[in-house]
Structure 1
Amino acid sequence: MTRVSIEEHLVADGTAGPYALTTGPDGALWFTLVHSGRIGRLVPGEKPTTYRLDPDSGPTVITPGPDGALWFTEYRAHRIGRITTDGVIDAFDVPTPGCAPFGIAAGPDGALWFTETAADRIGRITVDGRVTEFPLPVTGAFPSAITAGGDGGMWFTLNQANAIGRIGMDGTVTLHHLPTQTAAPVGIAAGHDGALWFTEIAAGQIGRITHDGRITEFPLPDRAARPHAVTVDGGGTAWFTEWGANRVGAIAPDGSLTLHDLPTPHSEPHGITLGPDGALWTALETGALARITPADRSI
């Protein structure tokens, strides 16, 4: 893969802050507007729709739930939110005050699991809103992104503890420390080969960890690129955003790397996901969603 086509679709003004996005069960893209306190919905080729939350709630990561709704974290309001595909919104308080939830993902147990960045905890919320919290064995770790690992556990990044963690459905936590010091991992996504891919925002590297804890790191050509979020396409290629370099990148299972400049300077790409149309989509904090399609083949 050497060439891509990139199209930008404006979904908000420059102050709203598109941050994370996912494909919903209704075949639409759902995204968070972190600065304006809204959830957005975009069907490719149509106009976007947005739904208002509390203006200062800080919606961050959004994911499909096992109940056919979308679930998201409210980082500043310290809540977990839920929105149905027709726009009905609920919010659930987390027991620990000031916990600042960030990452969220559906688990293999029919619940949602989330990170509490300011409380050193992993949370679990059932679809009827019951929350359980699990303390981590470290302090000041800033747990960030989280994903189902394909091995029956949830895997997450510990941004300030320089580690990747795993929590089992019984609450047992295992930590795997990174070879590179102060790498500050953020994004994480499961591959198709029994491994997970993650970003090292401070080290300018992409990492890969197997279920038994073996870690491989791939330095980027621009070590100041600030890789942020990562997702894996149907062929096993991991796509990631370079927040500090205005690019998206792709790393194949064999470690080969391609990088692609975004058309608008300083667009600040954050979340990235495989869209309902088979293309990659990334959220640009400047107000757009960018569609990325390989020019030489379909994804």
Structure 2
Amino acid sequence: MSPAATPSVTEIVVADEDAGPYGITAGPDGALWLTLTHSGCIARLTLDGELSRFPLDAPGCRPAVITPGPDGALWFTRSQDHRIGRITPRGETASFPVPTPGSGPFGITAGPDDALWFTAMNTDRIGRITTDGEVTEHPLPVRDAFPSVIAAGPDGALWFTLNRANAIGRLTTGGDFGLYPLPTPGAAPVGITSDGTALWFVEIAAGHIGRISVDGEITEYPLPDPGARPHAVVAASAGECWFTEWGGNRVGRVTADGEITGYDLPTPSSEPHGITVGPDGALWAALETGGVARVAP
């Protein structure tokens, strides 16, 4: 990894250490939206630093990943009480139960069919929820796979990481399933994103960034720090992705030709998790110790 190129890296405190900023996304209102996983809240952060917090009906529900929905609201998973949450830009909240008990929903994304698709970590299922709250589930033909993060692919299918199965999964909206084992044993993929051409994912246990074409061809890019524990990834453009290093306390950038650059975060051991491209074109990462980091490329 090339040394830090001294970009503009700033941090903003958004919560106390016990709140746990985890997921982050850019909303349709020009603000950033975060899950505060330890305190059961959703937070809204404007680009000029104005912060609003919206407590959920169950403080222990552990909101995890958050994404914009096709209806202009933000949708998020509640991994502890097994529900899918919804919040409007005005802060109005609702939630919907997942049919299979103990599912542990985690990843969520807007699909190509005007619905939301999510992973059920504990029950090896991919779920679909309409904006009216109707949920259907697709059981996976693999067991103890631990589906984690999910993204809509450029081919109109849903792509997701199978953390314990060490593979990438693909599911069409019609229910056809594909499985792509990873070359590195025990890589434990987590985050995944589409750059409009291919899918990028992170291997938290192996310290790699991976790329998979819609035809299933996989390329892996080892990070210089095997203990970096890359966690989340977001595409900035075709062939350019940014990722968080949970163990390395960095935000990194990777290109399709394998160039990797890392940027240290100011606060030691800040535990970066989710990452998104903000409305201002900068990269924003959620720091579980209570802040967000802004990296201007």
Give, in angstroms, the shift of residue 46 of structure 1: 2.8
Distance 2:170 2:258 in 1: 24
Q: Which amino acid aligns with 1:84?
A: T
Distance 2:7 2:237 in 1: 17
Pairing 1:133–2:137 present: yes
1:17 to 20, 42, 47: 20
1:72 to 73, 76, 84: 76
Aligned pairs for 1:175-214 (under 5 A) are 175-192=179-196, 194-214=197-217
Q: Which residue of 1 aligns with 2:161?
A: 157
Percent identity between matched residues is 63
Give, in angstroms, the shift of residue 3 of structure 1: 3.3
Distance 2:49 2:122 in 1: 38
| Conserved? CA contact 2:195–2:238, under 8 Å | no
**Cα distance per residue 1:73-113 (max 9 Å; x no partner):** 00001000000000000000010000000000000000000
Pairing 1:50–2:53 present: yes
Pairing 1:283–2:286 present: yes
Pairing 1:221–2:224 present: yes
Pairing 1:93–2:105 present: no
Give, in angstroms, the shift of residue 45 of structure 1: 1.1
Q: Which residue of 2 aligns with 1:144?
A: 148
**Cα distance per residue 1:194-226 (max 9 Å; x no partner):** 211100000000000000000000100000110
Give, in angstroms, the shift of residue 47 of structure 1: 2.1
Q: Which amino acid aligns with 2:242?
A: W
Pairing 1:264–2:261 present: no
1:38 to 41, 45, 57: 41
1:5 to 8, 19, 38: 8
Runs of 4+ in 1 over 4 A off after TM superposition: none
Name the CA shift for 1:134/1:245 in 2 (closer, same or farther; >3 Å).
same
SS at match of 2:148: strand
**Cα distance per residue 1:34-59 (max 9 Å; x no partner):** 00000000001132101001110000
Q: Which residue of 1 aligns with 2:254?
A: 251
1:27 to 16, 26, 30: 30
Distance 1:218 1:224 in 2: 14
Q: Which residue of 2 aligns with 1:106?
A: 110
Q: Which residue of 1 aligns with 2:245?
A: 242
Q: Which amino acid aligns with 2:150?
A: I
Distance 2:30 2:224 in 1: 36
Structure 1 stretch displaced more, 226-235 or 139-148: 226-235
Distance 1:234 1:203 in 2: 25
Distance 1:121 1:58 in 2: 19
In the superposition, the TM-score normalised over structure 2's length comes to: 0.97
Give, in angstroms, the shift of residue 2 of structure 1: 3.2
**Cα distance per residue 1:239-277 (max 9 Å; x no partner):** 000001101110012110101110000000000000011
Give, in angstroms, the shift of residue 4 of structure 1: 1.3
Distance 1:18 1:239 in 2: 18
Give, in angstroms, the shift of residue 235 of structure 1: 5.7
Q: Which amino acid aligns with 2:282?
A: A
**Cα distance per residue 1:167-196 (max 9 Å; x no partner):** 00101110100000010000000013x211
Q: Which amino acid aligns with 1:229?
A: A
Q: Which amino acid aligns with 1:173?
A: F
Distance 1:19 1:133 in 2: 25
SS at match of 1:264: coil
SS at match of 2:237: coil
Distance 2:84 2:159 in 1: 19
Q: Which amino acid aligns with 2:114?
A: G
Alignment length (residue pairs): 293
